[in-house]
Structure 1
Amino acid sequence: MSPIPPPTGPAGLQSDLDAARDAEHTGRREAAMALYRRVLELGESGGAEAAAAHDALARLLVGQDMAEAAGHALASWRLTPTDQTRRSNLWQLLTHLGEAGDVARFQGREDCVGLVALGNALRRDGQALRAERAYRRAVERFPEVSFTLSRLACLCAEQHRLEEADALFLQAAERHGGRDAVTRTAPAFLASLHEGPAPAGIRATLAEGAESTDRPLVVYACCDAVYARKFLPTMVRSIVEDSGLDCAIALHLINPDDEAEATVASLAAAHGAGRFIVLRETIDLTPLGDNAKTYYACSRFLVLPDLLARWKRPVLMLDVDLLAIRDLNPLLATSARSDLGMMSHALKRLDIWSLLYADVLHIQPTMGAWRFLDLTRRYIRHFLDHGMPVWFLDQAALAAVHLAGFAGQAAPRLTVYPADIHSSTVMVDGEGRYWTDDSAYFYSVRATGGGQHAVHRLKRRAGTTADVKQGKTQG
């Protein structure tokens, strides 16, 4: 590693910052962190250079020490409180830091990061009362850091203190918006949605193949043109060849272009046009800007109740970047007697937005499932109509409907899939053959934390990672 030049004093802050960024971009991590820290030592005024250095250190440290990263993120946010990206970074870190084994590490700390980390660690360790005390100390001692309200709100929701959680989410929303702004857990709010006028669905054409009505199950995926080109071929192949399902395949295309249409045509030619159902939705998403991705995630929920009533068959709704990596029938059998089957990852994330995942839904053609999905549609439509297309709106809706949507009445029956239905690893060779966990049912780049390869590179599942370790790589 090249030696760091001697300090140049406050006048050299920008030069040091530029050198730190160059070191970071060229992969010299330790040199970059040393330079960023020197910017902080010299930048006594706490100006823009210090804010940038704190922000960079938060990014560099997140995989090494999340609490230290959160400390830098907090410092950066304090210096630039209107910066949306830095605000989001801090919110994420305060949400996820603190493991069950960290209780002793954070015990006794009275700074904001330490208190939130302690609260999170205590929650993961099953000590909810002590966790609440830590969160409340953080709220009381650092009222300007409104992100602590989210931690306390999620704990209250976990304990079904739904009105209290709702009030905290509203307070957080007034202060910093984001996911808290589209999270409501008061039964009265959900009841008002249920009692309101029927929500709008979507405007779309529907083409159903001649053989699609003969299939006992519909596999349904929704995406825009870009994801259609990138993920549909591999996803559809996995359903046809690896899932073991006798199913129709419904593809919901939002604003499809010529390439997306060509992709669908090639899939129909390869796998039999008669089994495909194609919905084509055209909508102007220009007003949403970068938040159009929220609509792509939510549009399927705006039409699901209508599709369920039309098809009168079980529906397996999947994210389009998922691959079925083995026979799905055993998984679906576990939820066949429920109204819905969904995955939960709440213990890992400690937040309401991961209470129920939207990537795998097994839906039975029952009144209970329809009631759940109808209220989910009403919830999503409410926030879309109020100009709040916040990312994770779909999962906020699922959680709110599950927790608060059926107070005083029989709730739909729900089967909760464990998180390890997703493969946590994937190994891919140069020919696109891939190996995944033996026990999992799906692989997804996003759901498993990034992965090594984009899904569209995967061509054929050759076996399990255990096979690779044993040298069984032929196939």
Structure 2
Amino acid sequence: MLPILPPADLQSDLDAARDAERTGGPEAAMVLYRRVLERDADKGGAGMAVAHDALARLLVGQDMAEAAGHALASWRLTPADQTRRSNLWQLLTHLGKADDVGRFQGRDDCVGLVALGNALRRDGQGLRAERAYRRALELYPEVSFTLSRLACLCAEQHRLEEADALFLQAAERHGGRDAVTRTAPAFLASLRDGPPPAGIRATLAEGAGSADRPLVVYASCDAVYARKFLPTMVRSIVEDSGLDCAIALHLINPDAEAEATVASLAAAHGAGRFMVLRETIDLAPLGDNAKTYYACSRFLVLPDLLSRWRRPVLMLDVDLMAIRDLNPLLAASAHSDLGMMSHALKRLDIWSLLYADVLHIRPTMGALRFLDLTRRYIRHFLDRGLPVWFLDQAALAAVHLAGFTTEAAPRLTVYPADIHSSTVMVDGEGRYWTDDSAYFYSVRATGGGQQAMHRLKRRAGTTADVKPG
């Protein structure tokens, strides 16, 4: 039952709504924010922008389309606000499920048309989806985010030059991920024909026994992630993966605590199997975008490492842990140049066409060609001051789609999305239960996870083994 709210002035309503948000009263907060919209409707003031923005946040879990409507209204009132622009971009990107076609059919507002286009795409109706997007662009040309939706549709249909032109238009209008997404084969060819890209400046210490292992498991991270995730990740590879492998750890700007973490891992699991790459770089100019460099740096050195080691490499995000024998997974891609994961339901975004969290790379010319072009792509945008999050996956998608249109493409094995466990259950002793079919558990890939990874000590079985009561 909603509270009966006494009359108040605009600022009092805003203050009360913010208090309700902070104390976990979303229903009361929504009532107050809607009252702000009624009070300020004729003024178009700052209160309306705040209220619309808040309602977008509060409604996103209940009705994404309604949330997008409020996000659009907030952005229209404050078009220079980067956070609100990003919120709107994300909502317009993700709303509209396949079974929502009927819900949005016949709507002629911007959110309704984009949602209809997304729903039609997810339902496999590409031509009708394109009509919906183009109608939205015709009626609401100022909402440039629709260009992204149409560009991704064209890329999906391998209309690569058309997609490229749309991404460029979107980049000029609102930047973001569209600014680092190119799909024209001519652009990829120009990167391939350009001067060799810069790698990284780093030192490499290789354990005496590392060369004897037939596989290298490679992970890269900064000092914070080293402390937070490396112990569990490495333990799982040594004890649970079934792999006979060397372990290569790429540390970006390691501090004393990160070095101590690596030293303890070497002592626990045998120093001879470890290879440690230490990179020191000033990332202060990147500010909050330093995380993009942490994700991309491994690709800047991967071709060199593959040439040096001449062995298969399994490159993993550091927040992954192996939860069972990985040999069957690697066997699936044993006859390809590369193996990596895709999520068909998220292909509305070109940035989610191929995931960068699990890459099985064989030491072939095809893999080297793919990785060299990926490095050139990433370096191109980093050198131009565009360290945009998801740059690494934009590069993988662009190289896959447009990098080899005039020559034989490297052979790719696509892993299904359920190689990741969607659930983990942990008891007080650190024993955990996961999906039977999965190979990995990832805190980030599963939306944050129920427990911190450091609590997971030993796999006890599958979630099907856990009996109620």
TM-score, L = length of structure 1: 0.97
Contact residue 340 and residue 415 of structure 1 kept, 8 A = yes
Counterpart CA distance in 2 for 1:450 and 1:243 is: 22
2:216 is aligned with 1:218: yes
Q: Distance in 2 between matches of 1:460 and 1:30?
A: 42
Gaps of 5+ in 1: 470-474
Deviations 1:46-96 (A, max 9, x none): 211111111111111111111111111111111111111111110001001
Contact 1:4/1:31 (<8 A) preserved = no
8 Å Cα contact 1:149-1:169 kept in structure 2: yes
- Other structure's SS at 2:107 match: coil
Give the equivalent residue in structure 2 for 1:24: 21
**How far off its partner does 1:306 sit?**
0.1
2:32 match: 35
* Segment drifting more, 253-262 vs 432-441: 432-441
Q: SS at 1:362's partner residue? A: strand
In 1, are the aligned partners of 2:346 and 2:353 still within 8 Å (CA)?
A: no
Which deviations, in whole Å up to 9, do the C-alpha atoms of 1:209-244 show, x marking residues without a partner? 011000000000000000000000000001011111
1:358 aligns with: 356
Q: Secondary structure at the match of 1:411?
A: coil
1:385-396 correspondence runs (5 A)? 385-396=383-394
Q: CA deviation at 1:162?
A: 0.2
SS in 2 for 1:154: helix
User: 1:425 Cα deviation (Å)?
Assistant: 1.1
- Give CA-to-partner distance per residue, 1:321-375, whole Å, 9 cap, x none: 0010111000110001000001011423511000000000000000000000000
Q: Distance in 1 between matches of 2:429 and 2:75?
A: 46
Distance 1:346 1:48, change over 3 A: farther
After TM superposition, the structure 1 stretch with the greater mean CA deviation from structure 2, 44-53 or 91-100, is: 44-53
1:434 positional shift? 1.8
Q: In structure 2, the residue corresponding to 1:416 is in which secondary structure?
A: strand
Supply the distance in 2 between the matched residues of 1:50 and 1:460 (Cα, whole angstroms): 52
Deviation of residue 198 (structure 1)?
0.2
Distance change >3 Å, CA 349–CA 75, structure 1 → 2: farther
Give 1:429 shift.
2.1
Closer/same/farther in 2, CA of residues 48 and 346 from structure 1, 3 Å limit: farther
- Deviation of 1:453 after TM superposition, in Å, equals 2.1
Compared with structure 1, are the counterparts of its residues 4 and 308 closer, same or farther at alpha carbon in structure 2 (3 Å cutoff)?
same
Residue by residue over 1:121-166, the C-alpha shift from the partner in whole angstroms, topping out at 9 and shown as x without a partner, is 0001010000000011011111000000000000000000000000
- Verify the 8 A CA contact 1:4 1:35 in the aligned structure 2: no
Deviations 1:434-455 (Å, cap 9, x if unpaired)?
2111110111111112222232
Residue 86 of structure 2: aligned partner: 88
Secondary structure of 2:459 counterpart: strand
Question: Following TM superposition, by how much is the alpha carbon of 1:456 offset from its aligned partner in structure 2, in angstroms?
Answer: 2.7
Moved more, 185-194 or 458-467: 458-467
* Identity over aligned pairs, percent: 90
**SS of 1:109 mapped into structure 2:** coil
Q: How far apart are 1:102 and its partner, in Å? A: 0.3
Task: Specify every segment of 5 or more residues in structure 2 that has no aligned partner in the other structure, as ranges.
Answer: none
SS at match of 2:130: helix
Shift of the 349–17 alpha-carbon distance from structure 1 to 2, 3 Å rule, reads farther
Please identify, of 364-373 and 62-71, the stretch whose mean Cα deviation from structure 2 is larger: 62-71
Change over 3 Å in CA distance of 1:431–1:48 after alignment to 2? farther
Tell me if structure 2 keeps the 8 A contact 1:220–1:316. Answer: yes
Q: Is the 8 A contact 2:170 2:178 kept in 1?
A: yes
Structure 1 residues 6, 44: closer, same or farther in 2, change over 3 A? farther
Could you tell me whether the CA contact under 8 Å between 1:233 and 1:263 is conserved in 2? Answer: yes
Contact 1:96-1:349 at 8 Å conserved across structures: no
Superposition deviation, residue 432 in structure 1: 2.5
**Greater CA drift, 21-30 or 247-256:** 21-30
Cα separation, 2, equivalents of 1:299 and 1:2: 51
Moved beyond 4 Å, runs of 4+: none
* Structure 1 residue 426 displacement after superposition: 1.3
CA contact (8 A) 2:2 2:27 kept: no
Of 135-144 and 347-356, more deviation after overlay is shown by 347-356
Worse-matched range after superposition: 16-25 or 166-175: 16-25
Q: 1:454 and 1:77 mapped to 2: Cα distance?
A: 36
TM-score of the aligned structures, taking structure 2 as reference length: 0.98
Residue of 320, 329, 332 corresponding to 2:327: 329
Alpha carbons 1:323, 1:442 under 8 Å: kept: yes
> In the aligned structure 2, how far is the partner of 1:134 from the partner of 1:427?
43
Q: Per-residue CA shift, 1:249-272, capped at 9, x if unaligned?
A: 000000000000000000000000
Deviations 1:20-57 (A, max 9, x none): 1111111111111111111111x431211111111111
* Equivalent-residue separation in structure 2 for 1:33 and 1:432 (angstroms): 40
**How many angstroms does 1:283 deviate by?**
0.3
